[in-house]
């Protein structure tokens, strides 16, 4: 196992890249009723559509995390709601690491929108 992402980046401290390409991420403050770590995988096409359709940077990061974890619907919403802020940042960094351009998928919410 290696702690390097495919794109040459380094994983956050404590994370481990598994032989199958997934990444095991320890949670600093585990969500009640969940394990102490989660396994994240590359994003599929459906998840990328959700990421690209999200309006703001936070929404895009949330969609990337949930897509990488495979969480959908109420389970995903509850997980994000209960997740510690620092753990969310770590998970979003790992999810972004699966993409060549990192967390910058889709237009930035700070970019000017065309006039209507």
Judge whether 1 lies within some domain.
no
pLDDT tops 80 at residue 98: yes
When divided into structural domains, the chain yields a total of 1
In which domain, by residue range, is 63 found?
A: 16-97
pLDDT of residue 34: 81
Contact 65, 91 (CB under 8 A): yes
**Residue 55, CA distances (Å) to 2, 41, 64, 75, 113 in order:** 34, 23, 13, 21, 11
**Residue 47: inside a domain:** yes
Residue at 54 is within a domain: yes
3-state per-residue secondary structure call for 3-27: CECCCCCECCCCCEECCCCCEEEEC
pLDDT tens, 48-86? 999 999 999 999 999 999 999 999 889 899 999 999 999
Instruction: Dig out the tokens for 21 from the structure.
Output: 């390409």
What are the structure tokens assigned to 49, written together? Answer: 């559509």
């Amino acid at each position: 196992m290696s702690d390097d992402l495919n794109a040459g980046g380094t994983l956050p401290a404590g994370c481990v890249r598994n032989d199958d390409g997934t990444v095991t991420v320890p949670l600093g403050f585990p969500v009640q009723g969940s394990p102490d770590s989660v396994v994240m995988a590359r994003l599929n096409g459906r998840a990328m559509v959700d990421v690209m359709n999200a309006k703001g940077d936070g929404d895009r990061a949330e969609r990337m995390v949930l897509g990488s974890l495979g969480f959908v619907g109420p389970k995903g919403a509850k997980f994000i709601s209960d997740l510690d802020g620092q753990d969310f940042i770590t998970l979003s960094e790992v999810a972004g690491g699966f993409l060549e351009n990192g967390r910058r998928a889709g237009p930035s919410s700070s970019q000017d929108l065309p006039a209507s």
